[in-house]
Amino acid sequence: MDEPATRPPPTARPSGVSGTSVGMFAIVACIWLFSLLVVGAAGYGVGRLAFDRPVAGAVVAVLAWTASAAALLVRPVEAGVARLLFPGSRYRIGGRFTSRPAPG
């Protein structure tokens, strides 16, 4: 009778940044850069019409857009936005969030 095949022991995952993480970050960075074209143009127009300083308007708009994106990384802000976008999809039972649908 044949002996069962033995598997080699699992190897530890190499530490560091994975290729998937780099790819996901690259996509997010491209989306952010393209969104700056729209936001910068709107800020340029507002700065030109309201303050006669179009470049300052564009800079303020781009900085505000970037700060708002960074604010979403803060957990309470993220949770608040999630509640606004997906009402009733998660609710708290006994101090824990569950993914069961809210009772109607």
Nearest in space to 59 (alpha carbons), one of 71, 33, 41, 73: 41
**What pLDDT band is residue 26 in, cutting at 50, 70 and 90?**
very high
- Once rounded to an integer, what is the mean pLDDT over residues 24-45? 94
| Domain contains 50 | yes
User: Domain for residue 56, yes or no?
Assistant: yes
- What predicted TM-score, i.e. pTM, was given to this entire model? 0.60
Query: How far is CA 55 from each of CA 19, 38, 50, 52, rounded to the nearest angstrom?
Result: 37, 14, 12, 9
Residue 44, in any domain of the structure: yes
- For 24, half-sphere exposure in the C-beta direction (CA atoms, 13 angstrom radius) is 5
In a domain, 33, yes or no: yes
How far separated are the first and last CA of the chain, in Å rounded? 62
Within-domain flag for 84: no
Q: How many structural domains are present in the chain? A: 1
* Residue 53: domain span: 25-68
Question: What is the distance between the alpha carbons of residues 103 and 14, in angstroms, rounded to a whole number?
Answer: 45
Per-residue pLDDT at 71: 86
